[in-house]
Amino acid sequence: MHGWTLVFDLDGTLVDTAPDLAAATNHILERFDLPAVDEKEIRHFVGHGALAMIRGALAAHGRSVNEDELADLFESFLAYYGANIAVKSRPYPGILAQLDALSAQGARLAVCTNKIELHARMLLDALDMTRHFKALTGRDTLGACKPDPRHLTGTIGLARGQVRRAVMIGDSETDIATAKAACVPVVAVDFGYSVEPVTAFAPDIVISHFDELPAAIADLRARAS
């Protein structure tokens, strides 16, 4: 594993963040005296960002707002979420053990997320996960964000890795498209927030539990040799 860089998406891949994102969205709905939306509804919007979650939740109640109002709601969402970022968010089963094992085997680990970097760091700090990663980049870190391949290649560079010896691990069409554009093989988890089955986007390998990750990486390394 020495010389290989493994780059993880965050929401829906490393951590199940939907409960706290749903709470932040429902905080916005409270301003309109609207009923809370179910966490399951929010999951479909997580991969598209906070604005999509706000719009989607309002639309579910037949409401819409103009761009100025949306900007104000966005700031309110970010403030609430930042103050409640790890109330119910939890790492997915098996990931902590795998991060320890992969690091011990010499892999460089990194995070490439479309969260803003501040929130990504706050979340990983709260869950005692930051220590595992050589690099962490958000949508505002490098001047480009997924699906722009520069977000992924830039993250690999910050981790002092090489694109030709890297693997992306994600849960969405965006992660898969980013990896393909960067010519990086991609492992997709099927338990994240993708609306469509991840197999529809043709990742190199699909896993259903992080216990399957070492074999998947070994397979991709063998293909590259």
- Indicate which residue of 9, 16, 20, 204 is catalytic: 9
**25, 54 contact by CB (below 8 A):** yes
Taking 3-state DSSP, the helix, strand and coil percentages for the chain, each rounded to the nearest 5, stand at: 50, 15, 35
Residue identified by tokens 């691990």 is: 169
Catalytic-residue membership of 9: yes
Helix (H) or strand (E) holding 177: helix 173-181
- Three-state SS annotation for 38-94: CHHHHHHHHCCCHHHHHHHHHHHCCCCCCHHHHHHHHHHHHHHHHHCCCCCCEECCC
Residue 38 tokens, joined: 């179910």
End-to-end CA gap in the chain: 13
Residue 156 · residue 133 · CB < 8 Å: no
- In residues, how long is the chain? 225
Catalytic residue numbers? 9
